[in-house]
Amino acid sequence: MNIISVKPKVLEKIPNLILFVGRANIQNPDEEQISVYLKTSWEKLAAEIKLAQPNKHPRLEMMLSTVKKADISTSKYPPSIESVFKRVEKKDEPFRVNPIVDVFTGITCELGASFGAYDVDRIDGQINLRFSKGNEEFLPINSTTTELTNENEIVYADDQNVLERNFVWKQANKGKINQNTSSIIFFCELFTDMGVAAVDEAKVTIVKRLKTLLNATEVETETISN
| pLDDT for 196 | 97
Residue type, 134: G
Do strands 4-6 and 114-119 pair parallel, antiparallel, or not at all (unpaired)? unpaired
Whether residue 1 is predicted with pLDDT greater than 80 in this model: the reply is: no
Return the percentage of the chain with pLDDT > 90, whole number: 97
> What is the torsion angle, in degrees rounded to the nearest 10, for the CA atoms of residue 164, residue 166, residue 170 and residue 173?
-30
Any idea where the domains of the chain sit in the sequence?
Answer: 4-225
pTM here is 0.96
The mean per-residue pLDDT over the stretch 141-157 comes to 97
> Which pLDDT tens digit goes with each residue over 165-199?
999 999 999 999 999 999 999 999 999 999 999 99
> Which pLDDT tens digit goes with each residue over 92-133?
999 999 999 999 999 999 999 999 999 999 999 999 999 999
Residues 144 and 80 sit within 8 Å (Cβ to Cβ): no
Q: What is d(CA 71, CA 74) in angstroms, rounded to the nearest whole number?
A: 9
pLDDT classification of 6: cutoffs 50, 70, 90: very high
Burial class (CB in 10 A: 0-12, 13-18, 19+), 8: exposed
| pLDDT for 56 | 85
Whether residue 154 is predicted with pLDDT greater than 80 in this model: the reply is: yes
Q: What is d(CA 82, CA 85) in angstroms, rounded to the nearest whole number?
A: 5
| pLDDT for 54 | 61
Q: What is d(CA 155, CA 163) in angstroms, rounded to the nearest whole number?
A: 7
| pLDDT for 55 | 66
Q: CA 172 → CA 3, 95, 96, 114, 138, distances in Å?
A: 19, 20, 19, 16, 7
> Which pLDDT tens digit goes with each residue over 28-79?
999 999 999 999 999 999 999 999 876 689 999 999 999 999 999 999 999 9
The structural architecture, per CATH, of the domain 4-225 is: 3-Layer(bba) Sandwich (3.50)
